[in-house]
Structure 1
């Protein structure tokens, strides 16, 4: 069933859907009064709703039944990606959203081929956020992951102080068979805690970047015995988190 994220909380048992979502309901899905869809409020509560009224400004959808349960990971995972080439970051955001990521932070790494100025960064971030929203609707999430405009390393280090755990996916550790750091980290995490994990661009992280991250409390970890591409590694990590917290129990 189609799912939409409401910008405002329910009022008198009715959600008012506006903007692009209203256009999608009316012009793309061609829904009529009485048709039903899922609406998610800003507090991540989901409800089965029925269209009560369609106007030029909004779609008024009345709550039929609130839906129990959540599809969210029990821990908050922030994926930090050194800016990759082409549309790889879009792929990471789309698939990472489907796999349960809480937040995406691109950063301008020393070995990033792509360089974005402030204007392009804002425009890109708007597109990335739209991709995350559409993927969250498709995968029946109860929240839309936040997507940052690209940060430099110093800004990233400052932001990292807010996280419970911090890791670097470092291929040198993978080559040495060091996968226990990831296991120990996930085993130590409790529900609601946060993990920030940094992935390099195609050329990997520079030695000085790894040193600065480690000085800020990041631990280097491997992701198994194979060397993964920059767009594959975040998806491996999220799959491992899902298995550890959602399937092992």
Structure 2
């Protein structure tokens, strides 16, 4: 299998799909490393908590999308989908390639055995069937009921979706479509948050709530 170094010296190696093996580094130089497996690979099952992120971060600059993806990986999101909206209509192909590398680096850093999936960019209309099928879907919107109040009144579940709009927020028409598909609007406090801040705040809250 195609394994990557997770820890140095007596190394743990993983393939991003739950495969794990201990190995010994025999040689290490600037060109790479020779590693000998010390045991047969084992397969670790995936976490039962599965939150899927839909965030309109295509227009973020200055490494902010890298930070969003890195923290989603660390927090345990199952997948992230770049959301294409009226105010964030595109994301470049080279940006997607870079984000895949960010996911791998973050997975190694936090010892995550199952890599987070980066889905192909989707329009709002494309995610409506997903929202309709989800038991829990939350959309971050201004002046909505605080997220903790919404979670308290919701039946606890470990699988769901969170949806965060672009700089400038969703249009009213987009919010209407998402709510009609079955999402619940949640508020994240009195201040206007950047896309990456709102995404991480909502994901972290949902993950902790699922594990209670």
TM-score, normalised on structure 1? 0.69
> In structure 1, what is the Cα distance between the partners aligned to 2:95 and 2:147?
35
1:188 aligns with one of 156, 159, 181: 156
Task: Establish whether residue 111 from structure 1 lines up as the match of residue 87 from structure 2.
Answer: yes
Q: 1:88 to 1:53 in 2, by over 3 A?
A: closer
User: What is the count of residue pairs matched by the alignment?
Assistant: 208
How far is 1:45 from its partner?
4.2
Task: Establish whether residue 240 from structure 1 lines up as the match of residue 208 from structure 2.
Answer: no
Question: Deviations for 1:149-184, whole angstroms, at most 9, x for unmatched residues?
Answer: 32111222234455332111112205xx46422333
TM-score, normalised on structure 2? 0.80
1:91 aligns with one of 51, 56, 67: 67
Greater radius of gyration (CA): 1
Q: Is the 8 A contact 1:181 1:222 kept in 2?
A: no
How far is 1:197 from its partner?
0.9
User: Aligned with 1:143: secondary structure?
Assistant: coil
Question: Deviations for 1:81-103, whole angstroms, at most 9, x for unmatched residues?
Answer: 11342132221101111111111
> In structure 2, what is the Cα distance between the partners aligned to 1:164 and 1:226?
28
Greater relative CO (CA pairs within 8 A, separation 6+):
2
Q: 1:178 to 1:231 in 2, by over 3 A?
A: closer
Task: Establish whether residue 44 from structure 1 lines up as the match of residue 15 from structure 2.
Answer: no
Question: Deviations for 1:189-242, whole angstroms, at most 9, x for unmatched residues?
Answer: 1xxx42111101110111100111112111111224444221101111222234
Find the counterpart in structure 1 of residue 137 from structure 2. 166
Question: Deviations for 1:122-148, whole angstroms, at most 9, x for unmatched residues?
Answer: x32221111111101101111110112
Moved more, 228-237 or 38-47: 38-47
Q: 1:211 to 1:152 in 2, by over 3 A?
A: same
User: Aligned with 1:228: secondary structure?
Assistant: coil
2:177 aligns with one of 201, 205, 212: 212
> In structure 2, what is the Cα distance between the partners aligned to 1:163 and 1:47?
35
Q: 1:146 to 1:68 in 2, by over 3 A?
A: closer
Q: 1:139 to 1:58 in 2, by over 3 A?
A: closer
User: Aligned with 2:114: secondary structure?
Assistant: coil
> In structure 1, what is the Cα distance between the partners aligned to 2:152 and 2:180?
21
- Return 5+ residue gaps in structure 2 as ranges: none
Q: 1:158 to 1:243 in 2, by over 3 A?
A: closer
Q: Is the 8 A contact 1:179 1:224 kept in 2?
A: no
User: Aligned with 1:47: secondary structure?
Assistant: strand
Q: 1:183 to 1:225 in 2, by over 3 A?
A: farther
Find the counterpart in structure 2 of residue 155 from structure 1. 126
Task: Establish whether residue 146 from structure 1 lines up as the match of residue 117 from structure 2.
Answer: yes
User: Aligned with 2:87: secondary structure?
Assistant: coil
Q: Is the 8 A contact 1:168 1:199 kept in 2?
A: yes
> In structure 2, what is the Cα distance between the partners aligned to 1:164 and 1:43?
26
User: Aligned with 1:232: secondary structure?
Assistant: helix
